[in-house]
Amino acid sequence: MAQSPQRQLMPHAFPQRSQRKRFRRPQLHAVVSLGIAVLVGITALLSLPTVIAVDTRLAQAEPVKPPFPVTVDPVNETIVEDPEVEALLDDTHGTLAAASGLAGSALAWIANAVASVPVYQQVAGSDLAFVDIKAGYREEEVAYAFGRQLGWNTKQQAAFLKQVHENAPIIEEGQFVPGTYVLSSAASPAYVQELLSDRFAKEISARYSTTSEEVLPITDVLTIASMLERETRNPAEMRLISGIIWNRLWAGMNLQIDATLQYAKASKSTSGSWWPKPVPDDKYIKSAYNTYKNKGLPPGPIANPSTAAVLAALNPKKTDCIFYFHDSRGGMHCTPTYKEHVTLLKKYYGRGK
């Protein structure tokens, strides 16, 4: 059974104290403002892969992205071995890591840190806001992230979710492409929903061919990708876990994904966490999202997946593994039989499950 994994600058040369006394306050403000403005400019240039959506007034023409490769064959219950795709997605080349946004995470952090600096607000004015949407967020977390940076109250956050539900292009959950969004700090919930829908269409929908949709609906792909996103933060593991999920589906097994228990539990309670740690009793929660009780895929995605997770859902690793877990250090172990699974659990935890 899937065990819940543990989820879990360059220094500036400042003048010496004796030198600092020589600065007058207006000069100091000018220097700080200029320095931050330069940092923002450099960050904007370097973080193009990370800053994925901007206010339409700032938007530039974007290159057309290639279609997603697809090697999973649900009809024949197999995974087609394609050397070109394997070479592309082999993690040694960093393709999945880059697709997951990990390569630009530091730049995203800088962008958000700078956005919160009062002097930067004076330089850029109050019209600009940076909103960082992380992979693995639920829709409520997305609403909160935008609300926090844009100054929305709870009613405005609720209005945003209402817009999402009424105008969802395909599904309500899982349509928020992770990345840093740059937009007007006065942006309305309706405008943000449109921005997110546009980004989803360009990053995901446009790259999913009609032929692929006929064989494997994009809603199913996003559902699997969302589970992968919550099960591991390691892009290299995503394709392997994807292979295990497909093996379970083809074998008619319950998926038994702990992240679905977290989603179901948080949807029914006000525990204060959207991803509460699973406990044994959670396996009996009455919910269509409980993959311990219900066969097949849950009704829809449980979170917003990264592009890396979408690629992993479409291109799983071929494996005979059915069971897997993460040890206390985060290492992943998988086996084809339950007996071997229990043996490994005893080795790492002193008991089987």
CB 180 within 8 A of CB 132: yes
The band of 313, judged by pLDDT with boundaries at 50, 70 and 90, is very high
- More confident site: 321 or 37: 321
pLDDT for the residue numbered 236: 84
Interatomic CA distance for residues 243 and 238, integer angstroms: 9
- The full set of domain ranges for the chain reads 26-63+100-207, 217-349
pTM exceeding the 0.95 threshold for the entire prediction: no
Mean pLDDT of the residues in the chain? 78
Q: Give the pLDDT mean for 218-245.
A: 95
Q: Give the pLDDT mean for 66-72.
A: 90
Q: Give the pLDDT mean for 56-81.
A: 78
Q: Give the pLDDT mean for 187-211.
A: 91
Interatomic CA distance for residues 36 and 27, integer angstroms: 14
pLDDT surpasses 70 at 74: yes
Out of 107-116, 153-162, 244-253, pick the least confident.
107-116
The band of 232, judged by pLDDT with boundaries at 50, 70 and 90, is very high
Give percent of the chain above pLDDT 90: 54
pLDDT surpasses 80 at 72: yes
**Strand 179-184 relative to strand 128-133: parallel, antiparallel, unpaired?**
antiparallel
pLDDT per residue as tens digits for the range 259-294: 999 999 998 766 678 999 999 999 999 999 999 999
pLDDT surpasses 90 at 3: no
Q: Give the pLDDT mean for 324-335.
A: 91
CB 275 within 8 A of CB 262: yes
The one-character DSSP state at 61 is -
- More confident site: 328 or 139: 139
Written as one string, the DSSP assignment of 177-233 is --EEEEEETT--HHHHHHHHHHHHHHHTGGGS-HHHHHHS-HHHHHHHHHHHHHH-S
Q: Give the pLDDT mean for 131-159.
A: 95
Structural tokens at position 200: 């989803």
Q: Give the pLDDT mean for 141-159.
A: 95
CB 65 within 8 A of CB 207: yes
pLDDT surpasses 60 at 78: yes
pLDDT surpasses 70 at 2: no
Which of 223, 219, 229, 217 lies closest to 170 in space, CA to CA?
219
CA angle 95-99-102, nearest 5°? 100
Interatomic CA distance for residues 303 and 314, integer angstroms: 17
The band of 81, judged by pLDDT with boundaries at 50, 70 and 90, is confident
149 sits in which H/E element:
helix 139-150
How far CA 15 is from CA of 18, 28, 32, 179, 197, in Å, comes to 8, 12, 13, 36, 48
- For tokens 């959506």, name the residue: 53
Q: What are phi and psi of 105, to 5 degrees?
A: -65, -35
pLDDT surpasses 70 at 301: yes
pLDDT per residue as tens digits for the range 87-112: 878 755 555 655 554 444 444 444 44
pLDDT surpasses 50 at 305: yes
**Partners of residue 184 on adjacent β-strands:** 128
How far CA 242 is from CA of 34, 199, 269, 306, in Å, comes to 48, 25, 29, 14
pLDDT for the residue numbered 170: 73
Q: Give the pLDDT mean for 123-152.
A: 88
Q: What are phi and psi of 184, to 5 degrees?
A: -65, 140
CB 96 within 8 A of CB 89: yes
Which of 227, 225, 275, 233 lies closest to 255 in space, CA to CA?
227
Which of 325, 297, 149, 154 lies closest to 227 in space, CA to CA?
297
pLDDT for the residue numbered 270: 62
pLDDT for the residue numbered 196: 93
Q: Is 251 helix (H, G, I), strand (E, B) or coil?
A: helix
